[in-house]
């Protein structure tokens, strides 16, 4: 079969790397892909948010299956559109994609189904904010309701800051919505829990922990993720059972009851406090960079898993995992997550001899006049596996030393909880 993968990040390079290994696959196209995917698949420069153009590209290239990487096309209804046009596609439809696309949708669903999550209020105007502040303790978390590329969440340490940040959102700081959610602050340890879901079943698809803050010791603004490792040691069997019973099952059941079942990758962002899991957020896709540390551990054909899921037969497949640990460190453009420049040449990384346990997943890269150049904030994911996180990280640093790129920076403390 011919497969098209939508997206251009490190997540998509990792997925592509696994997809091309499958013996079920003939041609793989990445739309639009990056310099890394161009080496193992065919990149097509089409805007995936232009659904009509996408459809004609799919037909022209005789694509049998579309796998969607990022959230934006999912939230915009790419799956509904392609299915209507008789194209097989892996991902959630527009309605269940609101789990990520609207914080208020997700929180209301939690409240209706008694799913443990931070106490909250949906606010449309200043008086709503003032009312929540009357009975809440600082810090308070302010969240833009719609998609905001990881920039919509602010933890506020004074009531004045809550009011200021809220007013910016009401005035339209984020195009996706002028609504917001105010939340009680939860302390504890964060972890990411992944599933593949079909209309009848769900199956575990790895755990990870990422580092969202740009600075070492978890300081500075939030980013898309500066590094990650898998598995997440905090997600022990007992907690996992609680996650499934108190969070995952009630969520999937609630959507099924609305006749809007969830399908695709589901990512639960959790806070673990005193042995109890609380839902912080849902994402309706794989994590980035979490995907880059889960894929190297996967020992089953991913296309086979996706095909079983599209037939609602996930209960018939057993996913095998390699008994290794994996970590990735993200090399970013200086200035990220603020302003940064692009088109900066990166010394050839093809000459770096990598052992089998290591791989460099590209994110914001492209080939310009036969040279590898930066093309985004997060540029390369230096990834390695082994038995000890400490040795894995040492190995990653050795590889980074060989990359001749002055325009970049990275966090040296990725995995501090496990090292
Ligand atoms: P979200 O986009 O909802 O995942 O929020 C981004 C990040 O903000 C999370 O990964 C947490 O680190 C932090 N965060 C969000 N909500 C809360 C909360 N209620 N309590 C503490 N931290 C939070
Ligand atoms: N690494 C966080 C995310 O993918 O949303």
What's the CATH code of the domain at 166? 3.30.1490.20
Same domain, 179 and 200: no
Cα(3) to ligand 1 centroid in Å equals: 34
Q: What percent of the chain has pLDDT over 70?
A: 100
Take atom 3 of ligand 2 and give the residue whose Cα is closest.
Answer: 287
Same domain, 175 and 254: no
Q: What is the pLDDT of residue 406?
A: 85
The tens digit of pLDDT for each residue in 327-379 reads 999 999 999 999 999 999 998 788 899 999 999 999 999 999 999 999 999 99
Which atom of ligand 1 is the closest one to the Cα of 118? 19
Note down the domain range covering 144. 119-184
Which ligand sits nearest to residue 183's alpha carbon? 1
Question: For the chain, what is the mean pLDDT?
Answer: 96
Which of 184, 218, 241 is the endpoint of a domain?
Answer: 184
Residue 419 within any structural domain of the chain: no
- Asked if pLDDT for residue 404 goes beyond 90, the answer is no
82-86, 182-186, 222-226: lowest mean pLDDT where? 222-226
Structural contact between residues 419 and 390, judged by C-beta atoms closer than 8 angstroms = yes
Which atom of ligand 1 is the closest one to the Cα of 283? 4
Same domain, 195 and 180: no
Cα(146) to ligand 1 centroid in Å equals: 14
Q: What is the pLDDT of residue 39?
A: 96
Q: What percent of the chain has pLDDT over 90?
A: 95
CATH number, domain with residue 387: 3.90.600.10
Which of 293, 316, 339 is the endpoint of a domain?
Answer: 316
Confidence class for position 221, pLDDT limits 50, 70, 90: confident
Structural contact between residues 35 and 349, judged by C-beta atoms closer than 8 angstroms = no
Tell me if 141 CB under 6 Å of ligand 1. Answer: yes
Could you tell me the end-to-end alpha-carbon distance of the chain, in angstroms, rounded to an integer?
43
Residue 238 within any structural domain of the chain: yes
Take atom 9 of ligand 1 and give the residue whose Cα is closest.
Answer: 280
Tell me if 281 CB under 6 Å of ligand 1. Answer: yes
Which ligand sits nearest to residue 224's alpha carbon? 2
Tell me if 225 CB under 6 Å of ligand 1. Answer: no
Take atom 4 of ligand 2 and give the residue whose Cα is closest.
Answer: 287
Pocket test for ligand 1, best of 280, 281, 282, 287 (most atoms within 8 A of CB): 280
CA distance 93 to 97: 6
Q: What is the pLDDT of residue 348?
A: 73
Residue 35, strand partner residues: none
CATH number, domain with residue 225: 3.30.470.20
Residue 417 within any structural domain of the chain: no
Domain count, the chain: 4
The tens digit of pLDDT for each residue in 97-143 reads 999 999 999 999 999 999 999 999 999 999 999 999 999 999 999 99
CA distance 195 to 208: 12
Same domain, 250 and 276: yes
Q: What is the pLDDT of residue 101?
A: 97
The tens digit of pLDDT for each residue in 131-181 reads 999 999 999 999 999 999 878 999 999 999 999 999 999 999 998 889 999
- Specify the long-range contacts of residues 412-418, CB closer than 8 Å, at least 24 apart: 412/216, 413/211, 413/216, 413/217, 414/211, 414/226, 414/227, 414/228, 414/229, 414/327, 414/328, 414/329, 415/227, 415/229, 415/327, 415/389, 416/217, 417/189, 417/209, 418/209, 418/229, 418/233, 418/389
CA distance 375 to 272: 36
Give the binding-site residues of ligand 2, using a 6 Å CB cut-off: 210, 224-225, 283, 287-288, 290
Which atom of ligand 1 is the closest one to the Cα of 185? 20
Same domain, 159 and 125: yes
Angle between helices 10-19 and 302-310 (to 10 degrees): 90
Same domain, 290 and 346: no
Cα(44) to ligand 1 centroid in Å equals: 35
Same domain, 135 and 193: no
Average pLDDT over residues 255-278: 97
Tell me if 321 CB under 6 Å of ligand 1. Answer: no
Same domain, 297 and 194: yes
Which atom of ligand 2 is the closest one to the Cα of 150? 5
CATH number, domain with residue 53: 3.40.50.20
Which ligand sits nearest to residue 9's alpha carbon? 2
Same domain, 143 and 219: no
Residue 105 within any structural domain of the chain: no
Which atom of ligand 1 is the closest one to the Cα of 269? 4
Which atom of ligand 2 is the closest one to the Cα of 289? 1
Do β-strands 28-32 and 3-7 pair in parallel, antiparallel, or remain unpaired? Answer: parallel
The closest of 343, 366, 338, 268 to 45, measured between CA atoms, is: 366
Maximum CA extent, the chain: 60
Average pLDDT over residues 38-53: 97
Tell me if 180 CB under 6 Å of ligand 1. Answer: no
Residue 220 within any structural domain of the chain: yes
Tell me if 153 CB under 6 Å of ligand 1. Answer: yes
Same domain, 289 and 199: yes
Residue 158 within any structural domain of the chain: yes
Phi, psi of 33 (to 5 degrees): 75, -175
Q: What is the pLDDT of residue 295?
A: 98
Residue 366 within any structural domain of the chain: yes
The closest of 406, 221, 389 to 331, measured between CA atoms, is: 406
Take atom 8 of ligand 1 and give the residue whose Cα is closest.
Answer: 153
Q: Which residue has the higher pLDDT, 221 or 12?
A: 12
Residue 176 within any structural domain of the chain: yes
Average pLDDT over residues 208-218: 95
Exposure of 90 by Cβ count < 10 A (0-12 exposed, 13-18 middle, 19+ buried)? buried
Q: What is the pLDDT of residue 222?
A: 87
Cα(155) to ligand 1 centroid in Å equals: 8
Same domain, 309 and 193: yes
Which of 287, 316, 345 is the endpoint of a domain?
Answer: 316
Same domain, 264 and 373: no
């Amino acid at each position: 079969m011919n497969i098209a993968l939508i997206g251009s990040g490190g997540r998509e390079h990792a997925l592509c790397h696994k997809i091309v290994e499958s013996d079920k696959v003939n041609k793989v196209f990445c739309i639009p892909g990056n310099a890394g995917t161009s080496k193992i698949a065919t990149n097509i420069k089409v805007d995936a948010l232009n659904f009509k153009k996408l459809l004609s590209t799919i037909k022209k290239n005789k694509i049998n299956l579309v796998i969607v990487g990022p959230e934006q096309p999912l939230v915009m209804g790419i799956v509904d559109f392609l299915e209507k046009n008789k194209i097989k596609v892996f991902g959630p439809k527009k309605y269940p994609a609101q789990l990520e696309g609207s914080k208020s949708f997700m929180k209301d669903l939690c409240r209706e189904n008694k799913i443990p999550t931070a106490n909250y209020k949906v606010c449309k105007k200043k008086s709503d904010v003032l009312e929540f502040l009357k009975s809440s303790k600082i810090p308070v978390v302010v969240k833009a309701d719609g998609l905001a590329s990881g920039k919509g969440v602010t933890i506020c340490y004074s009531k004045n800051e809550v009011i200021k940040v809220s007013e910016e959102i009401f005035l339209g700081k984020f195009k996706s919505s002028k609504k917001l959610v105010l939340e009680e602050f939860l302390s504890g340890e964060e972890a990411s829990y992944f599933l593949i879901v079909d209309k009848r079943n769900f199956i575990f698809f790895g755990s990870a922990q990422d580092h969202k803050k740009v600075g070492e010791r978890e300081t500075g603004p939030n980013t898309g993720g500066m590094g990650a490792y898998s598995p997440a040691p905090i997600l022990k069997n007992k907690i996992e059972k609680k996650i499934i019973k108190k969070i995952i099952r009630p969520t999937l059941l609630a959507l099924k009851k609305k006749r809007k079942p969830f399908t695709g990758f589901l990512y639960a962002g959790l806070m673990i406090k005193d042995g109890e899991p609380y839902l912080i957020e849902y994402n309706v896709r794989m994590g980035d960079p979490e995907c880059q540390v889960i894929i190297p551990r996967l020992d089953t054909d991913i296309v086979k898993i996706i095909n079983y899921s599209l037939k609602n037969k996930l209960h018939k497949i057993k996913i095998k995992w390699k008994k290794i640990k994996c970590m990735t460190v993200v090399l970013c453009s200086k200035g990220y997550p603020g302003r940064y420049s692009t088109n900066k040449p990166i010394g050839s990384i093809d000459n770096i001899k990598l052992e089998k346990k290591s791989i460099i997943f590209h994110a914001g890269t492209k080939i310009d006049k036969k040279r590898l150049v930066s093309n985004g904030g997060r540029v390369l994911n230096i990834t390695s596996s082994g038995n000890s996180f400490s040795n894995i990280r040492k190995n990653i640093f050795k590889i980074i030393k060989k990359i001749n790129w002055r325009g970049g920076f990275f966090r040296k403390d990725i995995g501090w909880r496990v090292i």
